[in-house]
Amino acid sequence: MIRVMGAGAFGTALAVSLAERGPVTLWARDVGHAQEMARARRNDRRLPGIDLPDAVTVVSGPIEPSKAEATLLAVPAQTLRSFCTEHAGGLANGAPLVTCCKGVELATGLRPSQVIAEVLPGAACAVLTGPSFAGDIARGLPTALTLACADAAVGQRLQAGLSTSVLRLYRSSDVIGAELGGALKNVIAIASGAAMGAGLGDSARAALMTRGFAEIVRAAEAMGAARDTLSGLSGFGDLVLTCTSEQSRNYRFGLSLGRNEAFDPGVTVEGAATAQAVCDLAAREGLDLPITQAVMMLVSGRLRVEQAMDMLLKRPLKEE
């Protein structure tokens, strides 16, 4: 049995896909939402049009210890600490915890696996990340993801237990690279969306993606990531997807910034907090991350898109 904590779009999609392998428990924070899903056998609030398979059981309330093979944590990066703290007793059952969020904790600059290590010391932890949209996974469209785990034996078991006929997992031992690739690409997706929303064109977006990838590599390597990981699914692959599709919440948020339009405050945009957290880290490490800094200033309202682009274009000329 697999447990999925978080009944947002991605958590629900994972539950739907993994039901192919056997029983799945899908936990929702809101009791009313859980009852609604259990009755309708759908999650129309977050993932409309997708039926929940019979193998999916929807629950809410206090999380109890279970004999689950793995627990997937599909909760936002900025609430992961409070979630794990509140439900520590139900999570500390020996089963691996698999984080599915893509971000850096704003208050501490810690990656999700580091947050878990602080709150639940000794827990086996892995990371599930890569280029994927909830709707594609839920509809059974082919998707490839990275499953990163420092413990090779645990990683192998999770890879076998979480792969399905259409969800293909590639194993990695580079947890740092997998987490930072997934987190930092959200920042570049905001920049790409802002450029397109402001009508700056595809060439500007291509430049932002390319130079943004160079920033991702520079920042992640400085924090201990392997360059090869960043060139894979959890880095470059995820960057391409989220910078080119309006299915990406971070890209849509950037579009709204570029168009000077309001954005739904109820939609989680992990890249906004990550931009600030990474700028703080960059200042401490002496890293030059101009696109990330521009996004941070855009999100905080200190720059307009035109000003941000002007700031980037006026940087000194250099070799690539």
Q: List, by residue number, the catalytic residues.
A: 185
Residue 233: both structure tokens together: 């699914």
**What whole-number distance in Å separates Cα of residue 192 and Cα of residue 252?**
10
Residue type, 106: L
**What whole-number distance in Å separates Cα of residue 148 and Cα of residue 169?**
10
Three-state helix/strand/coil letters over the chain: CEEEECCCHHHHHHHHHHCCCCCEEEECCCHHHHHHHHHHCEECCCEEEEECCCCEEEECCCCCCCCCCEEEECCCHHHHHHHHHHCHHHHCCCCCEEECCCCCCCCCCCCHHHHHHHHCCCCCEEEEECCCCHHHHHCCCCEEEEEECCCHHHHHHHHHHHCCCCEEEEEECCHHHHHHHHHHHHHHHHHHHHHHHCCCCHHHHHHHHHHHHHHHHHHHHHCCCCHHHHCCHHHHHHHHHHCCCCCCHHHHHHHHHHHCCCCCCCCCCHHHHHHHHHHHHHHHHCCCCHHHHHHHHHHCCCCCHHHHHHHHHCCCCCCC
Q: Give the count of beta carbons closer than 10 Å to the beta carbon of residue 235.
A: 29
**What whole-number distance in Å separates Cα of residue 182 and Cα of residue 174?**
13
